[in-house]
């Protein structure tokens, strides 16, 4: 079963504004479809609709699903995203992803 995964982010003033993401198949360890760059609001909408979104990191030439991404309200009223590390997952964050 494919998982929505983020493998790159665009930052503006310490805020994620866009991500590169797509449908990743952990069974084949490959993208199920080409990735696209989208506004972070599309990620927030996917999370709010109940879809699981994860980070994706390349370590030693192999892809690994990282922490789950959650929607997070910020003090200025906008809703952004954040990665939440859980037990047994690689300890990486959105800051560790390459820029897009």
Count of the separate structural domains present in the chain? 1
- pTM for the complete prediction? 0.92
Domain coverage including residue 72: 3-96
Strand positions, DSSP E, 13-86:
15-25, 30-31, 36-39, 53-59, 62-73, 79-84
pLDDT (average), residues 23-41: 96
| The pLDDT of residue 89 is above 80 | no
pLDDT in tens, 41-53: 999 999 999 999 9
């Amino acid at each position: 079963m494919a998982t929505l995964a983020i493998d790159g982010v665009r930052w503006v003033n310490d805020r994620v504004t866009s991500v590169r993401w797509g449908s990743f198949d952990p069974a084949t360890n490959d993208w199920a479809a080409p990735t696209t760059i989208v506004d972070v609001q599309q990620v927030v909408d996917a999370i709010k609709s109940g879809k699981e979104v994860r980070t994706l990191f390349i370590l030693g030439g192999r892809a690994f699903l990282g922490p789950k991404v959650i929607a997070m309200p910020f003090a200025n009223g906008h809703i952004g995203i954040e990665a939440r590390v859980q037990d047994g997952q690689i300890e990486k964050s959105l800051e560790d992803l390459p820029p897009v």
